[in-house]
Amino acid sequence: MGMEIILLIILIFLIVAALIAVETKNLLSSVISLGAVGFGLSIAFLFLRAPDLALVQIAVEVILLIFLIRATIGRDVIPTKGHIHWAGLLSVCLLVAAVSVFGFFAFRSLEEFGTPIIALVPDAPANRYLQDGLKETGAANIVTAVLLDYRAYDTLGEATVLFAAIIGALAAGAPRTLIWEMTVPPQQQISWGFGSPAFPDNQGYMWFA
């Protein structure tokens, strides 16, 4: 019961942070609120004993937070006024009410938190993992057996996504060197030095490859 209370508190925190991110008029505050949602989700993964998901969530969240802060700092939202579309608002309210009712009955049908589902579903794959994991994989640690044998492709996919995100962040954050400022027509292309091409941009800056 204690774990349910902790997860409920984290869930309320995530909902409040998400609402702040949507309703705030300051872009930087919205980005920080989104970061709070991501880090709160990683804490929930830790309480649910899923450290692999928590590590991936933290890594991706840090990279996204850095780029979003860099993109939104110094900018703000220009408020605009318009008419309220009552039909759309009513549709959204009905959809939220339907999802809430469905979620209420769905959560009520779940077993109590901590109840082993393995005992309720004899044909669950987890039973095979526990019974035959050591014999089939040779790994004494059943978690290692599941991650690196039974679900090896899933683990490979997670690692690929993580490394691709890191490489993309490094490539996107690599600085470009500005040589000098000059006014050159956009259609003109010259060579400099040992034949390295120089490309002018629309603002009159000269870039060298």
| Nearest to 72, CA basis, from 36, 38, 40, 25 | 25
3-state secondary structure of 68: helix
Residue 156 pLDDT: 84
Radius of gyration, alpha carbons of the chain: 26
**102 falls within a domain:** no
**130 falls within a domain:** no
Residue 178 pLDDT: 47
Residue 69 pLDDT: 81
Give how far Cα 140 sits from Cα of 52, 135, 143, 184, Å.
19, 9, 9, 68
First and final C-alpha spacing in the chain: 62
Residue 203: give the domain boundaries: 176-209
Residue 95 pLDDT: 94
**128 falls within a domain:** no
Last residue of a domain, one of 77, 92, 108: 77
Residue 99 pLDDT: 92
**Beta strands at 190-192 and 196-200: parallel, antiparallel or unpaired:** antiparallel
Give how far Cα 48 sits from Cα of 3, 7, 125, Å.
9, 9, 20
**60 falls within a domain:** yes
Residue 79 pLDDT: 62
Last residue of a domain, one of 56, 77, 98: 77
Residue 146 pLDDT: 80
**160 falls within a domain:** no
Run means of pLDDT, 10 residues per run, the chain, 209 residues: 80 90 84 89 84 81 83 66 79 92 85 72 76 78 78 83 80 59 49 47 51
Residue 51 pLDDT: 77
Residue 191 pLDDT: 45
